[in-house]
């Protein structure tokens, strides 16, 4: 059982779908924490009924393992956002090698990216560097900026203790723990007007 710290640098593998067993090169970059295989497997078991054809946003993408796993399992497209130029280039290289043309990479800070013109997404991966404490501000931007469909799914990865403050209408669907990491899937449920 590997933790995110154990997986970097080196290689990690895609665990399901058309790209199953493909390896992703992981650069040696400070703070990069690829989501553990066991966590990705659990998450994508949860997402199995809704991933086909979904439009996805992978904020603070890092290695892009979550978004590439989504593409492998039939997502219509994934917008990857990564501020570290080295990590973003490694992600582009992996997408090119895997011929995953439905993945687009933006080298940009997530908060700046969310100030741009929105495209609604059915699924968002929100896994910022833990030290930066960005969950709440990014969640507000996702809500206020028009980035989510009315019933979007939002995956949030955070430290095990002290879950982040998120919008009240993001209803917890499922959650789990792996070491010091809490991973949770939320469903956006807007109140009826």
Q: How far apart are CA 32 and CA 6, in angstroms?
A: 11
Give the pLDDT confidence score for residue 11 in this predicted structure: 82
In a domain, residue 5? The reply is no
pLDDT at 192: 55
Q: Report the chain's mean pLDDT, rounded to a whole number.
A: 90
Check whether 5 has a pLDDT greater than 50. Answer: no
At residue 26, the pLDDT reads 82
Asked if 11 and 26 touch (Cβ cutoff 8 Å), the reply is yes
| Structural domain contains residue 60 | yes
In a domain, 1, yes or no: no
pLDDT above 50 for 2: no
Using the predicted structure, report yes or no on whether residue 90 has a pLDDT greater than 70.
Answer: yes
pLDDT bracket for residue 30 (50, 70, 90): low
What pLDDT, in 10s, does the model give residues 115-158?
999 999 999 999 998 778 899 999 999 999 999 999 999 999 99
Compute the average pLDDT of residues 88-104: 95
pLDDT digits (tens, 9 = 90+) for 34-62: 788 899 999 999 999 999 999 999 999 99
Q: Is 15 inside any structural domain?
A: yes
pLDDT at 9: 54
Average pLDDT over residues 77-83: 97
Whether residue 3 is contained in a domain is answered as no
Q: Please give the pLDDT value at position 109.
A: 95
63-67, 78-82, 121-125, 160-164, range with the lowest pLDDT: 160-164
Whether residue 82 lies inside any domain: the answer is yes
Total domain count for the chain? 1
71, part of any domain: yes
**Which phi and psi angles does 121 have, rounded to 5°?**
-125, 145
Label residue 33 by pLDDT band (50, 70, 90): confident
What pLDDT score does 51 carry?
Answer: 96
CATH number at residue 63: 3.40.50.150
Cα–Cα distance between 132 and 135 in angstroms, integer? Answer: 9
The reply to whether 167 falls in a domain is yes
Q: What is the domain range of residue 81?
A: 10-188
Q: Is the pLDDT assigned to residue 1 strictly greater than 60?
A: no
Alpha-carbon 81 to chain mean position: 9
User: Given a cut of 60, is residue 190 above it in pLDDT?
Assistant: yes
For the chain, strand residue ranges (E) read 10-13, 23-26, 55-59, 77-82, 103-107, 121-126, 148-159, 170-178, 181-188
Residue 25 has a pLDDT of 80
């Amino acid at each position: 059982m590997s933790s995110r710290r154990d997986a970097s640098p080196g290689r990690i593998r895609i665990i399901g779908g058309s790209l199953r067993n493909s390896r992703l090169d992981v650069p040696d970059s400070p703070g990069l924490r690829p989501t553990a295989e066991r966590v990705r497997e659990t998450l994508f078991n949860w997402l199995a009924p809704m991933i086909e054809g979904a439009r996805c946003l992978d904020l603070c993408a890092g290695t892009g393992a979550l978004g590439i796993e989504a593409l492998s399992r039939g997502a219509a497209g994934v917008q990857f956002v990564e501020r570290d130029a080295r990590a973003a280039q490694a992600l582009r290289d992996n997408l090119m090698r895997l011929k995953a043309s439905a993945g687009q990479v933006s080298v940009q800070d997530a908060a700046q990216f969310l100030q741009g013109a929105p495209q609604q997404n059915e699924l968002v991966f929100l896994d910022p560097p833990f030290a930066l404490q960005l969950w709440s501000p990014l969640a507000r931007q996702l809500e206020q900026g028009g980035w989510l469909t009315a019933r979007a799914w939002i995956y949030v990865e955070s430290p095990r203790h002290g879950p982040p403050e998120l919008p009240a209408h993001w209803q917890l669907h499922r959650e789990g723990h792996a070491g010091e990491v809490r991973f949770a899937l939320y469903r956006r449920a807007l109140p009826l007007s």
